[in-house]
A and B are shown apart, each in its own frame.
Chain A
Amino acid sequence: MPAGRTVEGTMLGKLDWSAIPFEQPIPLIAGGVVLVGILAVLIWVVVKGHLPYLWHEWITSVDHKRIGVMYILLASVMLLRGGSDAIMMRIQQAIAYQSQGYLPPEHYNQIFSAHGTIMIFFVAMPFVIGLMNLIVPLQLGVRDVAFPTLNSVGFWLTATGALLVNLSLVIGEFARTGWLAFPPLSELSYSPGVGVDYYAWSLQISGVGTLVAGVNLVTTVLKLRTKGMNYLRMPMFCWTTLASNLLIVAAFPILTATLAMLLLDRYLGFHFFTNEAGGNVMMFMNLIWAWGHPEVYILVLPAFGIFSEVVSTFSGKALFGYRSMVLATMAICVIAFMVWLHHFFTMGAGPDVNAIFGIASMIIAVPTGVKIYNWLFTMYGGRIRFTTPMLWAVGFMVTFIIGGLTGVLVAVPPADFMLHNSMFLVAHFHNVIIGGVLFGAFAGFEYWFPKAFGFRLDERWGKLAFWFTFTGFYVTFVPLYVAGMLGMTRRLQHYDVAEWRPWMIVAAIGMAVLSIGVICQIMQLVVSIRNREALRDRTGDPWDGRSLEWATSSPPPVFNFAFHPDVRGEDAYWDMKLSAQQQSLDHEEPEYHDIEMPRNSPTGFVCAFFATIMGFALIWHIWWMVILGGIGAFATFVVFAWRDHDEYVIPAAEVAAIDRVNLEERRNLVSMAGAI
Chain B
Amino acid sequence: MSDQTHMNGEHDIAPGDEEQHSVGERIVGYVVGLGLALLLTATSFFIAGTDLVWQPSIPVALIVLAIAQMGVHLVFFLHITTGPDNTNNVLALAFGLLVVFLVVGGTVWIMGHLNQNMPPMDQFIRMHS
Contacts and interface: CB of A to CB of B under 8 A. Distances in A.
Give yes or no for direct A-B contact (beta carbon below 8 Å): yes
A276 B121 CA distance: 7
A282 B107 contact: no
Contacts of A347: 114, 118
Interface in A457-514: none
B5 interface: no
A261 to B, nearest CB: 13
Contact of B109 (A290, A334, A353): A353
B21 to A, nearest CB: 23
A278 B118 CA distance: 13
Interface residues of B, number: 21
Interface stretch (A83-91, A335-343, A399-407): A335-343
A280 B120 contact: yes
A341 B105 CA distance: 13
B88 interface: yes
Contacts of A290: 103, 106-107
B120 A341 contact: no
B120 A286 contact: no
B83 interface: no
Given A347-B118, A348-B117, A286 B110 contact: yes
B96 A283 contact: no
A280 B116 CA distance: 13
A340 B117 CA distance: 19
Contacts of B98: 334, 337
Contacts of A246: 95
A280 B111 contact: yes
A222 interface: yes
A254 interface: yes
Give chain B's interface secondary structure class: helix
A500 to B, nearest CB: 31
Contacts, number: 62
Interface in B69-103: 88, 95-96, 98-99, 102-103
Given A337-B99, A337-B102, A282 B121 contact: no
B95 A250 contact: yes
A277 B120 CA distance: 10
A287 interface: yes
Nearest to A352: B113
A283 B121 CA distance: 13
B117 A349 contact: yes
B25 interface: no
Contact of B111 (A275, A278, A286, A340): A286
Classify the secondary structure of A's interface with B: helix
A105 interface: no
A441 B109 CA distance: 37
Nearest to A334: B98
Contact of A340 (B106, B113, B120): B106
A349 B122 CA distance: 19
Contacts of B99: 250-251, 337
A590 interface: no
Given A246-B95, A278-B120, A348-B118, A283 B111 contact: yes
Contact of A276 (B88, B110, B111, B122): B122
A279 B114 CA distance: 14
Contacts of A350: 113, 116-117
B107 A287 contact: yes
A337 B96 CA distance: 12
By CB atoms of chain A within 10 A, which of B96, B103, B110 has the most?
B110
Contacts of A282: 111, 114-115, 118, 120
A353 B116 CA distance: 12
B103 to A, nearest CB: 6
A250 B88 CA distance: 16
Interface string A264-286: 00000000000111111111001
Given A280-B120, A283-B107, A353 B113 contact: yes
8 contacts: A222-B88, A283-B107, A283-B111, A286-B106, A290-B107, A338-B102, A338-B106, A341-B110
Interface of A: 222-223, 246, 250-251, 254, 275-283, 286-287, 290, 334, 337-338, 340-341, 347-350, 352-353
A-B pairs, top 7 by smallest CB distance, nearest first, are A348-B117, A250-B99, A349-B113, A275-B121, A348-B118, A350-B113, A337-B102
